[in-house]
């Protein structure tokens, strides 16, 4: 028989409309986990009050954002108990998973014992076929149907039924699709969404396929699922497999350097994943560097700026800054790659000292290239490096500062490709350096997460803030928050004498895409592409580029970039000294100056990377304030 298609319109919703498909995450159990899943803003969270399941819910429901409906799941429970639980847990919906009769549903619907109206979801389990006639008796006594896979236990069976059964769905009541749905089914769901069977599909219900153990949901896989379901293109802020952050990064190096960089690229992730490497790295960070560094609630500073400020005390690390985290990681990497000789470049000498330190620790030869001018300006750090056994080699070409020292280091590496490892000191350089340095520094945000949880009851602050030279302390502070949209990222650059003064290092404002030290990034340059000399009172921020990750964070708007002048930074450094008894490095002082320019809410939690201590800058402070 020929069907008259004109009069049987299929009215299949377009994928766009269906992108509003609701999400229910069921089988929530643990308070922390409930909070972190709630942060993903699913439409429903399910709590199973049925005792015969490992996902049985028996604690309190924490405060969760408005707009998320709390669903109590029951199996053949007394109506009076269900009513009790609805009132006790302020449930918005009940899901009836047993053989509850239509009459049972109508009692729940009409009772005046509830403090607010609820939605009723009636579950039907499907194996390979289903007799849809049973639905009719429920049409007027519930709000939704839910189709689950028939299994031994009600719910959480982990496998799916044949969704095409729903082609014969005779009702117009919206339904939940459930049963063994996981991230691997995304394509199936997308196909389903455009099929006739999905016409009245209202929500997707997920449970066991997102668990690391019964009742414990994996937030990042859930997030990926929700984003994919809603066709949200998520931005990736980590390096991709080609070594790029968006349009920035890569490895732009002379051919003769290729074997060295390639050797590192092929090995760095493998080496870092070795349990033996991790054990040694963690142990040195603990016993030698002094980690974990404290997360300190700065009470007087918080009071002054009427917000909650926490300081991540990288200044308390051995050698006085975050740089040692990276040099420890890289010296262990060099050893695993069979290298015996270490080279490094340094501007102000901080990275030179951190490198000389780990070379002394491991008994390895250390050569530090440093511009001749910098050697004269940074005598104490030169002396430190020498005491630690390093050889400091002056760079005599060009402006005789950092970029010339870098050129010398690269030249050395080309000439010594077999036995030498080049320790780069920030999240810059050719791939894989930015990523490798970031991963070593990521210990900073890894610690912040549990430390903040201990003190504030949550892992995510409202903001993370760090100053940016090349961007290694910032990359480490942001790392575990890059893909947490509720955490604002603030990057602080040095404006020097002012953005328009010609004496500045505010790369995100003044820079354009270009190539420096082997990577494509934002870079301060003249019209014809010559690198401009940057300026900042702080030697560690006096760099004409930023790491490629930060260029990407700036370009995409993920991070807010602020620039701070010399004078604002110096005042902020003095203020922190007087308010908290902590003299910060001048680099770090830049980050503190943002409180004069940006207002935070009283209950905002702002975590600031206190990247280093001010001992090395004492003479600068003395000269500036005529102390």
Ligand X SMILES: *Cc1c(COP(=O)(O)O)cnc(C)c1O
Contacts to ligand X by CB under 6 A: 321, 323, 350, 426, 467-474, 540-541, 585, 587-588, 611-612
At its nearest, how many Å lie between ligand X and the CB of residue 587? 3
Least Å distance, CB 560 to ligand X, is 17
Q: Judged by CB, which is closer to ligand X: 64, or 468?
A: 468
Q: Are strands 93-96 and 119-126 parallel, antiparallel or unpaired?
A: parallel
Nearer CB in complex with ligand X: 75/467: 467
The catalytic residues are 323, 345, 611
Q: Closest approach of Cβ 249 to ligand X, in Å?
A: 16
Q: Crossing angle, helix 618-625 and helix 566-580, to 10 degrees?
A: 110
Surface-to-core class of residue 331, CB atoms within 10 Å of its CB (0-12 exposed, 13-18 middle, 19+ buried): buried
CA distances 586 to 109, 298, 377, 591, 617, Å, are 66, 18, 16, 9, 7
DSSP per-residue letters across 257-278: GHHHHHHHHHHHHHHHH-HHHH
Complex with ligand X: residue 305 or 478, whichever CB lies closer: 478
Nearer CB in complex with ligand X: 156/612: 612
Instruction: Give the nearer residue to ligand X in terms of CB position, either 157 or 473.
Output: 473
Q: Which residue has the tokens 């600031």?
A: 608
> Is there a contact between 327 and 606 (Cβ–Cβ < 8 Å)?
no
- Exposed, middle or buried, 3 (CB in 10 Å: 0-12/13-18/19+)? exposed
Q: How many CB atoms lie within 10 A of CB 557?
A: 9
- Chain residue whose CB lies nearest ligand X: 612
Distance from first CA to last CA of the chain, Å, rounded?
99
Helix 275-284 / helix 258-273 crossing angle, nearest 10 deg = 90
Helix and strand counts by DSSP (H, E) for the chain: 22, 24
Minimum Å distance from CB 440 to ligand X?
12
Q: How far is the CB of 351 from ligand X (least distance, A)?
A: 6
CB of 504: closest distance to ligand X in angstroms?
A: 16
For residues 197, 199, 201, 204, the Cα torsion angle rounded to the nearest 10 degrees is: 70
HSE-CB at 214 with a 13 A cutoff on CA atoms is 11
**Nearest residue (CB) to ligand X, 508 versus 611:** 611
């Amino acid at each position: 028989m020929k069907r008259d298609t004109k009069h049987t319109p299929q009215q299949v919703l377009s994928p766009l409309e269906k992108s509003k498909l609701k999400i229910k995450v069921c089988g929530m159990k643990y308070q922390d986990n409930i909070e972190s899943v709630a942060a993903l803003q699913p439409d429903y969270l399910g709590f199973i009050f049925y005792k015969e399941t490992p996902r049985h819910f028996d604690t309190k429901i924490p405060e969760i954002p408005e707009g998320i409906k709390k669903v109590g799941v029951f199996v053949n429970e007394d109506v009076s108990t269900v009513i009790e639980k609805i009132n006790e847990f302020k449930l918005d919906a009940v899901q009836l998973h047993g053989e509850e009769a239509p009459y049972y549903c109508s009692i729940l619907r009409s009772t005046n014992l509830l403090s607010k109206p609820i939605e009723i979801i009636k579950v039907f389990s499907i194996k390979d076929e289903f007799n849809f006639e049973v639905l009719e008796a429920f049409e007027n006594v519930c709000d939704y149907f839910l189709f689950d896979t028939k299994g031994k236990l009600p719910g959480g069976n982990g496998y799916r039924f044949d969704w095409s059964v729903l082609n014969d769905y005779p009702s117009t009541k919206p339904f939940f699709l459930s049963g063994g749905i996981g991230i691997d089914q995304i394509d199936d769901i997308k196909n389903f969404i455009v099929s006739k069977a999905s016409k009245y599909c209202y929500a997707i219900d997920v449970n066991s396929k997102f668990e690391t153990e019964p009742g414990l949901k994996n937030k990042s896989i859930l997030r990926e699922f929700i984003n994919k379901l809603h066709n949200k293109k998520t931005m990736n802020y980590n390096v991709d497999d080609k070594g790029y952050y968006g349009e920035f990064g890569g490895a732009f190096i002379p051919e003769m350097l290729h074997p060295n960089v390639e050797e590192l690229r092929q090995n760095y992730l493998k080496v870092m994943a070795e349990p033996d490497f991790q054990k040694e790295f963690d142990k040195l960070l603990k016993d030698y560097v002094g980690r974990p560094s404290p997360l300190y609630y700065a009470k007087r500073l918080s009071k002054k700026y009427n917000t909650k400020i926490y300081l991540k005390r990288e200044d308390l690390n051995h050698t006085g800054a975050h740089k040692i985290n990276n040099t420890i990681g890289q010296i262990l990497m060099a050893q695993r790659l069979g290298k015996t000789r270490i080279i490094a470049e340094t501007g102000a000498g901080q990275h030179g000292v951190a490198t000389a330190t780990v070379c002394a620790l491991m008994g390895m030869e250390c050569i530090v290239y440093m511009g001749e001018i910098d050697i004269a300006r940074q005598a104490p750090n030169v002396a430190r490096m020498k005491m630690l056994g390093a050889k400091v080699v002056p760079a005599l070409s060009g402006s005789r500062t950092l970029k010339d020292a870098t050129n010398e280091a690269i030249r050395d590496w080309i000439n010594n490709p077999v036995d030498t490892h080049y320790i780069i000191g920030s999240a810059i350089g050719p791939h894989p350096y930015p990523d490798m340095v970031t991963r070593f520094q990521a210990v900073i945000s890894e610690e912040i997460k549990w430390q903040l949880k201990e003190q504030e009851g949550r892992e995510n602050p409202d903001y993370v803030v760090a100053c940016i030279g090349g961007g290694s302390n910032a990359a480490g502070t942001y790392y575990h928050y890059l893909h947490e949209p509720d955490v604002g990222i603030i990057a602080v650059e040095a404006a020097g004498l002012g953005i328009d003064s010609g004496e500045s290092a505010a790369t995100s404002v003044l820079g354009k895409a270009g190539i420096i030290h082997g990577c494509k990034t934002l870079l301060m340059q003249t019209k014809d592409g010559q690198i401009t000399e940057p300026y900042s009172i702080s030697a560690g921020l006096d760099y004409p580029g930023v790491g490629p990750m930060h260029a990407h964070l700036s370009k995409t708007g993920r991070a807010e970039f602020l620039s701070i002048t010399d004078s604002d930074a110096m005042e902020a450094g003095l203020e922190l000294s007087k308010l908290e008894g902590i003299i910060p490095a001048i680099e770090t002082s830049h980050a503190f100056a943002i409180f004069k320019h940006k207002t935070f809410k009283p209950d905002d939690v702002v975590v600031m990377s206190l990247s280093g201590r001010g001992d090395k800058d004492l003479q600068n402070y003395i000269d500036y304030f005529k102390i």
